[in-house]
Amino acid sequence: MPPEQQPSLPAQPGGQPHWTQYAIIVLLAVCAVGLWNRTERLIPTATAQDGRAGARGVYAFTGPLDQNTAGLFMMDVDQGTLWVYALEPEGGTRRLQLVAARTWVYDRYLQDFNCAAPDFREVQKLVAKQRNQDRDATPGSSTDRGSD
């Protein structure tokens, strides 16, 4: 089709754009502002969490507990608790059973509990030893300067 016969948007007399072009521009601007602001009134979010650091709420995820048992793990970030359910096959049906639950609120205050070697004291000594070796091997360290 020759260029002079290609269809185009109708223009108002005097070469002005048609009102539909203005409507499209306004709608695109509204969409851009809505995406930019992410306001719930214009565009409701369809995500499970809002993406902010330190997200809150209850999270659920699955995983195996053993070879034949599936587990449902749930974590309440607000209350600092974790609980685990086992989905156990029993006859022809499956049964959901609470297997474990605990709070971790006070766990962060522990320095060493039920841990395999090396414990944190041994790791502290190893890190201090390595830092001393690194500092001694660094050119211009206090041992290389001599007396002032």
Residue 132 domain-assigned? no
pTM of the model: 0.45
Q: In what order do the strands lie in the sheet with 58-64?
A: 58-64, 70-76, 81-90, 93-103
| Count of structural domains within the chain | 2
Instruction: Find the range with the poorest average confidence among 102-106, 121-125, 130-134, 142-146.
Output: 142-146
**pLDDT the model gives residue 131:** 94
Question: What is the rounded CA–CA span in Å between residue 22 and residue 2?
Answer: 28
Residue 129 domain-assigned? no
**pLDDT the model gives residue 43:** 46
Q: What are residue 44's phi and psi, to 5 degrees?
A: -65, 140
Q: Residue 82: which pLDDT band, with cuts at 50, 70 and 90?
A: very high
N-terminal to C-terminal alpha carbon distance within the chain: 89
Query: Does residue 88 sit in the same domain as residue 64?
Result: yes
Higher-pLDDT residue of 135 and 93 is 135
Give, in degrees to the nearest 5, the angle at Cα 73 between 71 and 79: 160
Query: Does residue 70 sit in the same domain as residue 30?
Result: no
The parent domain of residue 15 ranges over 10-46
Residue 96 domain-assigned? yes
Instruction: Find the range with the poorest average confidence among 35-39, 42-46, 88-92.
Output: 42-46
**pLDDT the model gives residue 72:** 92
Residue 119 domain-assigned? no
Residue 24 domain-assigned? yes
**pLDDT > 90? residue 7:** no
Query: Does residue 72 sit in the same domain as residue 40?
Result: no
> Torsion angle, CA of 141/142/147/148, rounded to 10 degrees?
80
Contact 46, 38 (CB under 8 A): no
